[in-house]
Structure 1
Amino acid sequence: MSVTHREPVSSPAARDGRLAHRSGETVLTVRTPDGRPLAGAEVLVEQRRHAFTFGCIGFDFIPHANGEGPGERTGSFFGRAAPHEGVEQLAADWFELFNTTTLPFYWGEFEPVRGRPDTERLLRTARWFAERGAAVKGHPLTWHTATPGWLLELTDEEVLAALRARIRREVTAFAGVVDTWDAVNEAVIMPDYDKQDNGITRLSRSLGRVATVRAAFEEARAANPGATLLLNDFNLSPDYERLVQECLEAGVRIDALGLQSHMHKGYWGEERTLEVLERFARFGLPLHLTENTLVSGDLMPASVGDLNDHQVPSWPSTPEGEQRQADELARHYRTLWSHPAVQAVNYWGLSDAGAWLGAPVGLVRADGTRKPSYEALHGLVKGEWWLPPTTTATDEQGRVAVRGSLGGYAVCAAGATAAFAIPAPGASTADATLTTAP
């Protein structure tokens, strides 16, 4: 039968010309299993995945992914509690919002006894996420904090050899499951760090920042040539810009720049956020906002220097703080979504349970109930920036135009399904062959 022309299937965000870098339009030809265009047929089009990286740490789920119950090993990597009650609902909330997780590879906790790394436990966790459709990132391979005490017994040359061996071991063992790594974390302060003695600070003083970064990137690259390797830092001053420039001039191949934004003292605001993004976008590398937090309670005093120095017995979430967090979270994600250099955003903790510093930064309360911030982010990720299931019809050539956020989609007809993608901004064409005859 003849089908009249229809407007493209379209999401709200795809109609905003200011966000053209986040969306595209594909003219899709739907085909039967024998290759014939499916003409004049009713089809359902729906989005399945964002191309943009919406991430959140997955530390909370390590015990659950390993089948550990209450009273067993809790595995509180870097202070994260391991909730047992309500973990299934917490996991459902996690996968409803996020498509990428970050898992902890803090060397001191991963290998407290030399030669006895926690590889299998982290590998089971990584696979648990991957089997549910999430990409997995490792954090970090090289850092001066949370290092094993046994490094202090080694010479600088031995520390470097141990670091190279550690990087080679982890990147090799997790290849194919964890293919993105913070190769070096917080190198700006690394040689100047004076909170505690550690082998990595001593090594970086001996080698220098650039040589330390080079060694880590070279070893990780050799172990997995296809890996995405980040240089990550909280110091977003010109010191970090200079380090990036020096590393690039020294031939270090950096795949993306990690920018931390723990906003325990208060929301940066759009102006400051855009200023930071512009300064680091000049290097022509993708920007990953690796560590994002916003507080839903009292803010940390502005006078605090190192965030770790703010220790309070209780830091509750409040109704007023929760509404502020929701409003600021939406503004923050909108700002990051608007900038074409930003490729990934990772939130630092879904739940308040066991949050870093005890701060109420989660999108879910410690009792498992969602805060307004969860609903605010959901309204963007699965609302404004998402194509809802839409019924339309193909034309006489079996075509239908789909306009939406970059990512993975599916077309369904009479119980048969085919996958397709909107891979890049602008216009494209694609074929989708249904898996069974309609």
Structure 2
Amino acid sequence: MTKAQLGHRFGDAVVRLLDPHGRPLADHDVVVEQRAHAFSFGNIGFDFVALANGETVPQANGETVPQANGETVPQANGETEAAARLADLWFDVFNTATLPFYWAGFEPRRGRPDTARLHRAAQWFTDHGSRVKGHPLVWHTLTPDWLRDLPAGEVEAAVRARIRREVAGFADVIGAWDAINEAVIMPVFSNEPHRNAITRLAGERGRVAMVRLAFEEARATDPRATLLLNDFDMSEAYESLIEAVLEAGIEVDALGLQSHMHQGYWGEERTLAVLERFARFGLPIHMSETTLVSGDLMPPHIEDLNDYQLPSWPTTPDGEQRQADEIVRHYRTLLAHPAVEAVTYWGLTDDGAWLGAPCGLVRTDGTPKPAYEALRDLVKGEWWLPPTRLRTDGAGRVEVRGFLGDYELRWAGHTAPFVLDAPEAEITVTQSAR
């Protein structure tokens, strides 16, 4: 990919190195190394909540540990070791974790939220240098049973209180939230005899009012947080909702676009068309939920992906090669578009993947698929500056070109960080006195 296509992702900087007295360190050997990407390469962190909380029990005793999604599964010491190996794979590519705040699992009993475990998980990710996003604050699916029969006014009060509690309680470790998820379908969603409480509330209040509720409560609680409007509906209905939301004066920080490609890769043309349609709003785009399968594709006639669930959906050698090719094409296309500032792949491993699809980048046995290696080759290869030896000129300067992000300069036993955050920059690094 040429500089013209990715020029907006790179920075060219003249870094000037000075001694403690402000004099140029001329003709010095230095090493420059990238430490982090400014771009958000994300993945879900659901698999690591138990690991972050140190939840290990012998498999033989039959005990279980609670998970962030409300389920309970046995976790053995051997599983912990496997999770640790999986974590190494995660951190070698990704820098932004999405954690699950599905209300039904987070607070199955009213007044007993899973705050402590999720906070420890978020802290674990931040301690490893990762950013953290919460998903979602308001969603009609996976709502707690205790909410179902409350009057609309009490439902709204509970939703508002839930938003304030989560945003305030995690403000120190979570910097972004899907404030509301899938609002287009929210008022009409139905997969049960009686509509869930959030759908009922949305039917009475309307979509824009629900979006306002989510954004204004979250914004008032943590003005620094990045708040997303997130949806799977890529039709004109989502565009119309965005227009209405913005016309209503609701402050949206970014648009979340889901791309679960279980029925096949969108291709460059369709992907670019989608990006252009939503870039017109002038907001950053986050590809918030992305998947590509490495097995048989879901038939094209399936309208609701949830309707296609098989007893077994295996990964295949041919499918894995296809997935590797497509993930490279997809990420290249996304990063070439200046409106895209984040991509979240929806699952590292096939184990427990959404709908049982082989959409992970790692097989159930813990071995990486070709798609994992291909993506790593982009993120930590083509788009990464490894340790590079340079020599300052007579004015103490070196020229650095790299992907926007955090860097480190090392020389003669000294280390100093600097940031590439613009296409062109002049940066001064001063050696500290010992």
TM-score where L is the length of structure 1: 0.94
Higher mean Cα deviation, 328-337 or 412-421?
412-421
8 Å contact kept, 1:295–1:321: yes
Q: Which amino acid aligns with 2:90?
A: W
Q: In structure 2, what is the Cα distance between the partners aligned to 1:292 and 1:352? A: 14
Select 1:176's aligned residue among 160, 172, 177.
172
Q: In structure 1, what is the Cα distance between the partners aligned to 2:262 and 2:68? A: 22
Runs (4+) of structure 1 exceeding 4 A deviation are: 78-83
1:77 is matched with 69
Secondary structure, aligned partner of 1:240: helix
8 Å contact kept, 1:54–1:99: yes
| 1:112 to 1:247, Cα distance in 2 relative to 1, 3 A | same
2:406 is matched with 408
How does 1:1-400 map onto structure 2 within 5 Å? 16-70=3-57, 71-75=63-67, 77=69, 84-196=80-192, 197-400=195-398
Show CA shifts across 1:357-388 (max 9, x none): 11111111111111100110011101111112
Secondary structure, aligned partner of 1:178: coil
2:60 is matched with none
Q: Post-superposition shift, 1:35?
A: 3.5
Q: Post-superposition shift, 1:17?
A: 2.2
Show CA shifts across 1:285-312 (max 9, x none): 0000000000001111111111111111
Aligned CA-pair RMSD: 1.5
8 Å contact kept, 2:68–2:105: no
Show CA shifts across 1:209-260 (max 9, x none): 0001001100000000111000000001000000000000001100000000
8 Å contact kept, 2:42–2:345: yes
Show CA shifts across 1:380-407 (max 9, x none): 1011111121101001111111011111
8 Å contact kept, 1:80–1:354: no
Q: In structure 1, what is the Cα distance between the partners aligned to 2:71 and 2:241? A: 30
8 Å contact kept, 1:102–1:137: yes
Higher mean Cα deviation, 87-96 or 73-82?
73-82
| 1:76 to 1:136, Cα distance in 2 relative to 1, 3 A | closer
Q: Which 5+ residue runs of structure 1 have no aligned equivalent?
A: 1-12
Q: Post-superposition shift, 1:147?
A: 0.3
Q: Which amino acid aligns with 1:246?
A: A
Q: Which 5+ residue runs of structure 2 have no aligned equivalent?
A: 58-62
Q: Which amino acid aligns with 2:34?
A: Q
Select 2:425's aligned residue among 423, 428, 435.
428
Secondary structure, aligned partner of 1:153: coil
| 1:114 to 1:203, Cα distance in 2 relative to 1, 3 A | same
Q: Post-superposition shift, 1:76?
A: 5.7
8 Å contact kept, 1:30–1:399: yes
Q: Which amino acid aligns with 1:159?
A: V
Q: Post-superposition shift, 1:19?
A: 1.4
Q: Which amino acid aligns with 1:421?
A: V
8 Å contact kept, 2:70–2:108: no
Show CA shifts across 1:114-171 (max 9, x none): 1110000000000000011000000000000000111112111110000000000000
Q: In structure 1, what is the Cα distance between the partners aligned to 2:27 and 2:332? A: 38
Q: Which amino acid aligns with 2:43?
A: C
| 1:398 to 1:225, Cα distance in 2 relative to 1, 3 A | same
Q: In structure 2, what is the Cα distance between the partners aligned to 1:394 and 1:314? A: 59
8 Å contact kept, 1:28–1:402: yes
Q: Which amino acid aligns with 1:63?
A: A
| 1:218 to 1:344, Cα distance in 2 relative to 1, 3 A | same
Q: Post-superposition shift, 1:352?
A: 0.9
Q: Which amino acid aligns with 1:88?
A: A
Secondary structure, aligned partner of 2:80: coil
Q: Post-superposition shift, 1:179?
A: 1.6
Secondary structure, aligned partner of 2:55: coil
Q: Which amino acid aligns with 1:36?
A: R
| 1:23 to 1:108, Cα distance in 2 relative to 1, 3 A | same
Q: Which amino acid aligns with 1:231?
A: L
Q: Which amino acid aligns with 1:424?
A: A
| 1:87 to 1:264, Cα distance in 2 relative to 1, 3 A | same
| 1:65 to 1:332, Cα distance in 2 relative to 1, 3 A | same
Q: In structure 1, what is the Cα distance between the partners aligned to 2:318 and 2:15? A: 47
State the identity as a percent: 62
Q: Post-superposition shift, 1:37?
A: 2.2
Q: In structure 1, what is the Cα distance between the partners aligned to 2:419 and 2:49? A: 32
1:6 is matched with none
Q: In structure 2, what is the Cα distance between the partners aligned to 1:393 and 1:332? A: 37
1:10 is matched with none
8 Å contact kept, 1:79–1:354: no
Higher mean Cα deviation, 353-362 or 122-131?
353-362
Q: In structure 2, what is the Cα distance between the partners aligned to 1:414 and 1:433? A: 13
8 Å contact kept, 1:410–1:418: yes
Q: In structure 1, what is the Cα distance between the partners aligned to 2:128 and 2:20? A: 28
Q: Post-superposition shift, 1:66?
A: 0.3
How many residues are matched? 423
